[in-house]
Structure 1
């Protein structure tokens, strides 16, 4: 795999604050696990000259492709196991007329994904086996994030106006082919919306609300609400094992809630800045935290102990673990400095083999 690390800023990144020693039975050694030596790895940085930022990255469900959006109205797909060179990226264009903000992969098919743009108010559906998009939905609102249900036949999307709405996949009539349709469900207030692993519930956050809401799907009736962050909750992620819900807020804190009792069992205070995004590793043992600083924190789930602070080329709006490896992807834009080089969009990978 190839990439570029040229001209990386040597800003001092403060080390994370270490919490008190965790209970011995929660450590990796006590549980017979061997954690990767994250400090032995270096980021693989791919720069793309652009005055715009790379806004989002996401892995296909089989982990063979990495998608990135944010510049040129184009979707870029790489096969990281083969190459991360710019010329090796597959380009998908023609679906959007303005900046692309978000990419989501269908969890049941490694070739299907969708992208969204707040500016052109579109959600566009793609198949990697075709160069042209397969469906384009024009909305009356600006979609900011999209999230597939586990069966790949429902999407919840949140808008720039902090509302959540639903798309469903099906037929209008017996003779029609299956397509994505706008649901007639009333929108709900939310900044982010995440399906549970079964698909019969949603976790909703709102950047102006202190609590996290859990709603039933498809009724959207509120099942549970729990206080999370004083300044508002901006990110949430579910542990793949089904044990924890992690939330991040403007207060720079990440909370871990025990899903069996709905109590906050752990608080991670390693970050020095407001949280942007959080992601669990495929085995649930690690949490990656993107924040408004130029680094990604990797912490142990069961102890909350910070394991490594990964330097980044700038603030990252997102972070995503590989679906089967201890590798993270993240992206953003280099810092603009007076008298310095022109800003670049970037995509970075970190972990063994990168």
Structure 2
């Protein structure tokens, strides 16, 4: 289940993390937010953030149905690219793991769009997915899995303009995640469980080790939330599956025995997204409430550092190649890079 090898920077030990980051200032990536009619500032909340596989481009989604791709390290607006085309709220974006210039987006308009951030073009769109709100790429980049609020799963291909297959589940599926081999997919459900299904067959792959009553399912599911499970994320090492719930709880499950190794209950609102650092050592979460981004050490569950923010951070994402954290704060993309001791605000 391990993630394919990528260039790695030196690892920062737990005890050195906070001292290393305490003097590093964030770099704001300012987008024009001035209304043409009134001249007033109009802040659009950042809903989601995604890095490309090389960590050279970071894309954001705002509440005004706009996607913007930024070149990492170049915060000026002229170096960014805007993408428009969805007619309803954009819920999620994700780069093709095998093609660093291809970005996928899913919207409540029921359409998945594929964008080329190099040519600035929409290269494909697949319609007919209802109130779609979740997507994830298979690790080899050959297909995407999309979920909507009616419990439907859609398998789509970046090279085809029609849905490949549809699968109906009994309850709503939230932000799903693949294991690094692509053989399993983790589905966070509205009932608080996480299903583990095969891909592309979408059949249960883990079963309980005891007898079940006639008519009962033997499917084993991850259980750790008292409300809807909203998001999942797999550690780059493949050791853990992190789950985030509407109950403000984060669960860390061992992928060998499927046991919940630890529960993190410091969040003050529903957990909207999760992100592991490139080495799997550190975990951050996005939340609509509170302030500050808390960094958790995955092995111990300890809070080791808090990045101060002006408001809640719903969208946070570690770079896949280095200790570089992107997050949205009061509508502005900000990046903290361990390699740059900049003094920007």
Q: Could you tell me the TM-score, scaled by structure 1's length? A: 0.79
The correspondence for 1:97, drawn from 72, 87, 96, is: 87
The correspondence for 1:38, drawn from 13, 17, 21, is: 21
The correspondence for 1:215, drawn from 197, 216, 230, is: 197
Query: Which structure 2 residues correspond to residues 114-153 of structure 1 after superposition, within 5 A?
Result: 114-118=104-108, 120-153=109-142
1:277 counterpart = 2:277: no
Q: Is the 8 A contact 2:129 2:148 kept in 1?
A: no
Specify the alignment match of 2:167 in structure 1: 186
Specify the alignment match of 1:337 in structure 2: none
Q: Is the 8 A contact 1:38 1:307 kept in 2?
A: no
Alpha-carbon distance, 1:51 to partner: 4.7
The correspondence for 2:258, drawn from 242, 256, 262, is: 262
* SS, match of residue 111 in structure 1: strand
Alpha-carbon distance, 1:180 to partner: 4.6
CA separation of 1:67 and 1:220: change in aligned 2, threshold 3 A: same
**Unmatched 5+ residue regions in structure 1?**
1-26, 170-177, 335-344
Q: Is the 8 A contact 2:325 2:336 kept in 1?
A: yes
1:317 counterpart = 2:314: yes
Q: Is the 8 A contact 1:43 1:310 kept in 2?
A: no
1:49-72 CA-partner distances (Å, limit 9, x unpaired)? 235322211101111001112255
Q: Is the 8 A contact 2:127 2:162 kept in 1?
A: no
Could you tell me how far apart the structure 1 residues matched to 2:294 and 2:52 are? 23
Could you tell me how far apart the structure 2 residues matched to 1:272 and 1:309 are? 14
* SS, match of residue 133 in structure 1: strand
Q: Is the 8 A contact 1:243 1:259 kept in 2?
A: yes
RMSD: 2.2
Could you tell me how far apart the structure 2 residues matched to 1:84 and 1:346 are? 11
Q: Is the 8 A contact 2:147 2:174 kept in 1?
A: yes
CA separation of 1:139 and 1:84: change in aligned 2, threshold 3 A: same
* SS, match of residue 78 in structure 2: helix
Could you tell me how far apart the structure 2 residues matched to 1:323 and 1:140 are? 29
1:161 counterpart = 2:141: no
1:141-200 CA-partner distances (Å, limit 9, x unpaired)? 02212110001011011223343322135xxxxxxxx42531223233411221111111
Matched residue pairs, number? 302
Specify the alignment match of 1:226 in structure 2: 222
* SS, match of residue 231 in structure 2: strand
Specify the alignment match of 2:181 in structure 1: 198
1:57 counterpart = 2:49: yes
Could you tell me how far apart the structure 2 residues matched to 1:309 and 1:248 are? 19
**Unmatched 5+ residue regions in structure 2?**
1-11, 34-41, 206-219
Q: Is the 8 A contact 2:250 2:263 kept in 1?
A: yes
